[in-house]
Amino acid sequence: MNRAADLAGCEAIRDWLTQRCGIHYPQHKTDLLRQRLTRVQRAFTLNDLGEMARRLNSEANHDLQLAVMHAASTNHTYFFRETEVLEAFRTKVLPTLAARDEIRIWSAACSTGDEAYTLAIMVAETLGFAALKRLHILGTDISAPVIQQAEAAVFSEQRLDRIPPDLRRRYFDSVGIAQYRIKAELRAACTFRQMNLKTMPYPFRKTFQAVFCRNILYYFERHDQTATLNAIYDVTEPGGWLTTSVTENIRDLPTRWIPTDNGIYRKASA
């Protein structure tokens, strides 16, 4: 391995990720990025990261591009993540959607679907099981492999450790040793698609009443954060809601979102 080419390649790939996906790795996370890219390097039998960078920038190598994007995104998620924000969503947002003929929610950066299915469980528990028939949750992520996992809807027992036993019994079926699958009624309410949040404007025919965009913005440069939040605003109906992570403070960004609670924002009514 040529170390100089490896270092230069890592820098070039870092730039490519920022420009193509909005994913930003600061200098102090260079070792983490190199570690993740090394796995891709071995899988594609490349000499070093310099060769990887050249292929990304000069060839229409779709498989390599997807592998690099997948490796660079963290995809760390679990059911009922950040209960404080979820409780605020349950008490503040869901009552405003209870009487709607359609409930349309977007889980942006959905990873393996834990968030989308968590929201489906919350709707069923709060508004009644019948509400699942008018619930439409779209989960999107830049990584194709995690979208496939989300569609499969099979999770290990370890992934469900934050779910109370009664909810686990109601909404999951055992499908093997320590493996559980989301029940069909919840799967029917959730659709998953691959999507790059940096590709704007977003191609939706209908606006959303609520959008979850959590634990992704801090991987973006500030200008990409603002652009993403404004693009989400444009596909949210008047009076609609945005939920972010409690660790992502967007109040100092130049957006049109109105803060209403910790991690909860609202679009102005028409």
pTM of the model: 0.78
- Predicted pLDDT of residue 162: 82
At which residue do the structure tokens 């909404």 appear? 171
82: left (phi over 0), alpha (psi -120 to 50) or beta: left
- Predicted pLDDT of residue 242: 97
Dihedrals phi, psi of 178, to nearest 5 degrees: 55, 35
Query: pLDDT per position in the chain (270 positions), as tens?
Result: 567 778 888 888 888 887 776 677 778 888 888 888 888 898 888 888 989 988 887 666 777 887 787 787 765 567 888 888 999 999 999 999 999 999 999 999 998 999 999 999 999 999 999 999 999 999 999 888 889 999 999 999 888 888 999 999 999 999 989 999 999 999 999 999 999 998 999 999 999 999 999 978 877 888 889 999 999 999 999 999 999 987 777 888 999 999 999 899 999 997
Dihedrals phi, psi of 76, to nearest 5 degrees: -100, 115
SS3 for 145?
Answer: helix
Query: Are the beta carbons of 105 and 113 closer than 8 angstroms?
Result: no
At which residue do the structure tokens 């920038």 appear? 57
Alpha carbon separation from 266 to 63, 81, 99, 102, 129 (Å, rounded):
38, 21, 19, 19, 26
Specify the fold of 83-266. Answer: Rossmann fold (3.40.50)
- Predicted pLDDT of residue 238: 97
Which residue from 59, 57, 62 is spatially nearest to 11, judged by alpha carbons?
Answer: 57
Within the chain, all domains assigned CATH 3.40.50.150 are found at 83-266
Residues 6+ apart with CB under 8 A from 143: 66, 69, 70, 73, 75, 111, 194
Residues 6+ apart with CB under 8 A from 78: 114, 159, 162
Within the chain, all domains assigned CATH 1.10.155.10 are found at 3-72
Specify the fold of 3-72. Answer: Chemotaxis Receptor Methyltransferase Cher; domain 1 (1.10.155)
Residue 95, both tokens:
């009552």
